[in-house]
Amino acid sequence: MARANESHVCQSCGAVYSKWQGRCDDCGEWNTIAAEAGEAGPPGSLGAGKKTKGKIVDFTTLKGGGEFEPRLLTGNAEFDRACGGGLVPGSALLIGGDPGVGKSTLLLQIAAGVAKGGARVAYLSGEEATAQIRLRAQRLGLDEAPVALASATALRDILATLKADKPDVVIIDSIQTLWSDALPAAPGTVTQVRASAQELIRFAKGSGAVLFLVGHVTKDGQIAGPRVVEHMVDAVLYFESEQGRAFRLLRAVKNRFGAAHEIGVFEMTGGGLREVANPSELFLSEPGEPAPGASVFAGVEGTRPLLVEFQALVSPTTFAAPRRAVVGWDNARLSMMLAVLDARCGLEFGRHDVFLNVAGGLRIAEPAADLAAAAALCSSLFDRPLPKTHVVFGEVALSGAIRPAPQAEARLKEAKKLGFKGAVAPKGGDESPIPVTCVETLGDLVQWVRCADG
Ligand code: TYD
Ligand code: MG
């Protein structure tokens, strides 16, 4: 029986229903709808309870307003890069990630870095006791940093403290642990998470503090995903890692003050997170004899060029339906590439099992990776190693034509920096830091692979 003041809220997207149902119509997630008592009040209604008349708001112009406050640098180049070049005062950032990926560790290091730079930092943890955080800080050698540390989960207390203390940077670890006594819903529910985030963001905008919210991402939707918060904050950064690997990517999926898809690369070590200033080296295989089926893709993540190795294995199949497996690239994209190679270049991938892997555990989503994948596939099919001195990039159309890739110059510069001697790419600008072998169709690439001298 549903109680009178009970509503059913999707724990993934926050959609409200009058009765329970198995699937959320809004976000399509299954089994995420749960009964919650009451509804969130309007922002700022905490404890107010009285109706007042609206005030007239003053309009201003786009121009003027004097100097902007400079961005706050954290002293961590990778983090600053992912944020679009430092922290903007008065902004709210959401750091999402799986449990155990290192969100608390990263933010503790950032807190210490900012505090050492002279800013006032408040670190509020609802997950760990202060003693546990101190222990971690000691292990990371950060216990001297002047960070104000507290363990609290009551939103009212936190807001009162922040209003009295006026820190420059506030870190809330995590948003799911906060609860407001003005709402009857349980902590961790969408209603609570949304209301808490709203109040804290209001505080940040009003006071000019930088607000970090940590949010857990859970697959089963038991705890409110930070999805609802994503719309409210200025930047959403995802901290990701491939299972069983030490490196971590901080990826900006939304940023009102910088480029989205910007990445910062870290490595988890015994002494905390270490910045990886030159990630291309991480994703390229060891030097040595070139092997068939390997090609180097000159990619770009955000504004950062990144070289990654594609590895393919093509072998005659014994099955009626050949096997296709891909790690780090899109499955549908692989099928498309194989179909185009078969149809336009007369190759016979249909009779082969195909395995494709992106080295280092990175996931590539760029269309410009098509050509590098095709090069790796052909190299394995012909059993001809590609020269280790060349990078490959370009988007492949269904017709087999190669389309230019954005930021070609940045890719070529990075390749040159890492000692590559040439590139295979669609026709681009006039000047190039390294010689480019221009390919106009997929046939040209196949020809290049056939004649390649590995
Ligand atoms: P943590 O920051 O607690 O993750 P989150 O807040 O995202 O849940 O990090 C937990 C993991 O990081 C844990 O498995 C241990 C590892 N770790 C290290 O490897 N080295 C370190 O110096 C620290 C502090 C943690
Ligand atoms: Mg944590």
Q: Which ligand is nearest to the CA of 138?
A: 1
Considering every ligand atom shown, identify the ligand nearest to the alpha carbon of residue 173 and give its number.
Answer: 2
Look at residue 226 and tell me whether its pLDDT is greater than 70. no
Six-digit token string for 361: 């555990």
Amino acid 287: pLDDT? 72
pLDDT at 397: 95
Mean pLDDT, rounded, of the chain = 87
Q: Are 259 and 303 in contact (CB under 8 A)?
A: yes
Phi, psi of 219 (to 5 degrees): -75, -35
Identify the residue with better confidence: 218 or 399: 399
274-283, 370-379, 435-444 — which is least confidently predicted?
274-283
Q: Which residues contact 63 (CB under 8 A, 6 or more apart)?
A: none
Residue in this structure with the two tokens 């804290």, named with its chain if needed: 200
d(CA 252, CA 260): 5
User: 107 CB less than 6 Å from ligand 1?
Assistant: no
Residue range 118-143, pLDDT digits in tens: 999 999 999 999 999 999 999 999 98
Is residue 315 predicted with pLDDT exceeding 80? Answer: yes
Choose among 291, 285, 290, 293: nearest CA to 378: 293
Q: What is the pLDDT of residue 363?
A: 87
Residue nearest to atom 14 of ligand 1 (CA): 100
450 Cα: distance to centroid of ligand 1 (angstroms): 48
Nearest CA residue ID for atom 1, ligand 1: 102
Lowest mean pLDDT of 150-164, 279-293, 312-326, 335-349, name the range. Answer: 279-293
Distance from Cα 364 to the centre of ligand 2, integer Å: 27
| CA 248 – ligand 1 centroid, Å | 11
What's the pLDDT at 394? 95
CA of 272 to the centre of ligand 1 (A): 8
- Whether ligand 1 lies within 6 angstroms of the CB of 272 is answered as yes
Q: Residue 99 CA: which ligand 1 atom is closest?
A: 8
Mean pLDDT of 51-78: 82
Mean pLDDT for the stretch of residues 198-206 = 94
- Predicted pLDDT of residue 50: 54
Give the closest residue (by CA) to ligand 1 atom 11. Answer: 100
96 CB within 6 A, ligand 1: no
Signed CA dihedral, 205, 206, 210, 215: sign only: negative
Q: Say yes or no to pLDDT of 225 above 60.
A: no
Residue 285 CA, ligand 1 centroid: distance in Å: 27
Q: How far is CA 118 from the centre of its chain?
A: 29
Q: Provide the pLDDT for residue 186.
A: 83
Tokens of 88: 């903007």
Q: Write the residue with the smallest CA distance to atom 9 of ligand 1.
A: 102
Distance in Å, CA 381 to ligand 2 centroid: 46
Q: Which atom of ligand 1 approaches the CA of 136 most closely?
A: 24
Examine the pLDDT at 310 and tell me if it is beyond 70. Answer: yes
Residue 226 CA to residue 188 CA, distance in Å, equals: 10
Write down the pLDDT at residue 243: 73
- Ligand 1 atom, smallest distance to 97 CA: 7
For 59-63, 132-136, 224-228, which range has the lowest pLDDT when averaged over its residues?
Answer: 224-228
Q: Ligand 1 in contact with 43 (CB < 6 A)?
A: no
pLDDT of residue 13: 78
Is the pLDDT at 221 greater than 60? The verdict is no
Please check the confidence at residue 108 and state whether its pLDDT lies above 60: yes
Six-digit token string for 439: 């390919």
Residue 211: HSE in the Cβ half-sphere, 13 Å Cα cutoff: 30
In this prediction, residue 26 carries a pLDDT of: 83
Find the 127 Cα to ligand 2 centroid distance in Å: 7
- Residue 417: the pLDDT is 87
Ligand 1 neighbour 268 (Cβ under 6 A) = yes
Three-state DSSP string of the chain: CCCCCEEEEECCCCCEECCCCCECCCCCCECCEEEEECCCCCCCCCCCCCCCCCCCCCCCCCCCCCCCCCCECCCCHHHHHHCCCCECCCCEEEEEECCCCCHHHHHHHHHHHHHHCCCCEEEEECCCCHHHHHHHHHHCCCCCCCEEEEECCEHHHHHHHHHHHCCCEEEEECHHHCECCCCCCCCCCHHHHHHHHHHHHHHHHHHCCEEEEEEECCCCCCCCCCHHHHCCCCEEEEEEECCCCCEEEEEEEEECCCCCCCEEEEEEECCEEEECCCCHHHHCCCCCCCCECEEEEEEEECCEEEEEEEEEEEEECCCCCCCEEEECCCHHHHHHHHHHHHHHHCCCHHHEEEEEEEHHHCCCCCHHHHHHHHHHHHHHHHCCECCCCEEECCEECCCCEEECCCCHHHHHHHHHHCCCCEEEECCCCCCCCCCEEECCEHHHHHHHHHHCCC
Q: How would residue 4 be classed by pLDDT, with cut points 50, 70 and 90?
A: low
